[in-house]
């Protein structure tokens, strides 16, 4: 997928950079990028004003492909844009970009699967959930 601007995403959030996020050479540690992506996914799927998750289900990460494009440096914050590329029967593909100072520092594609609470087995997305997810599709997705 081509890189988008932050404004292209249906869900935008941020994380404050902490001094503890830095590695030995003064850059934000690459493991922290995954935490930024999680912040965006939680905003997308669990936001209290419009939760996507059903009471009897959870979402789990099935795969994550993360591409590092530039350094992120402390202090400051990052903005995370999140949207959907595809909606399946019991899964979805999330596309995200991480920005610092208007520059894209990373992008990622994550496959999320809905599972039943207590069963750990994939569970089909309801029509209501698919309708909510449809509003989060990125332009030219697919």
Residue 115 has a pLDDT of 97
**Residue 1 pLDDT:** 63
Q: Where are the alpha helices (DSSP H) in the chain?
A: 30-46, 127-134
The structural domains of the chain, with segments of one domain joined by +, span 6-134
**Residue of 45, 41, 59 whose CA lies nearest to 122:** 59
pLDDT band at 36 (very low <50, low <70, confident <90, very high): very high
pTM: 0.94
pLDDT tens-digit readout, 75-134: 999 999 999 999 999 999 999 999 999 999 999 999 999 999 989 999 999 999 999 999
- CATH architecture, range 6-134: Roll (3.10)
Q: So what's the pLDDT on residue 53?
A: 86
- 6 class by beta-carbon count within 10 Å (0-12 exposed, 13-18 middle, 19+ buried): middle
Residue 111: strand pairing partners = 63, 93
């Amino acid at each position: 997928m081509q890189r988008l601007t932050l404004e292209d995403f249906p869900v935008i959030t941020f994380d404050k950079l902490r001094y503890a996020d830095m590695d030995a050479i003064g850059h934000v540690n690459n493991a922290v990028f995954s935490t930024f992506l999680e912040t965006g996914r939680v905003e997308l799927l669990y936001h209290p004003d419009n939760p996507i998750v059903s009471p009897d289900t959870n979402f789990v990460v099935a795969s994550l492909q993360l591409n590092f494009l530039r350094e992120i440096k402390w202090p400051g914050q990052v903005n995370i844009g999140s949207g959907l590329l595809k909606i399946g029967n019991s899964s979805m593909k999330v596309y995200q970009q991480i920005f610092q100072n208007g520059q894209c520092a990373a992008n990622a594609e994550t496959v999320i699967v809905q599972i039943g609470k207590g069963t750990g087995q994939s569970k089909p997305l309801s029509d209501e959930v698919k309708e909510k997810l449809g509003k989060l599709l990125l332009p030219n997705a697919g």
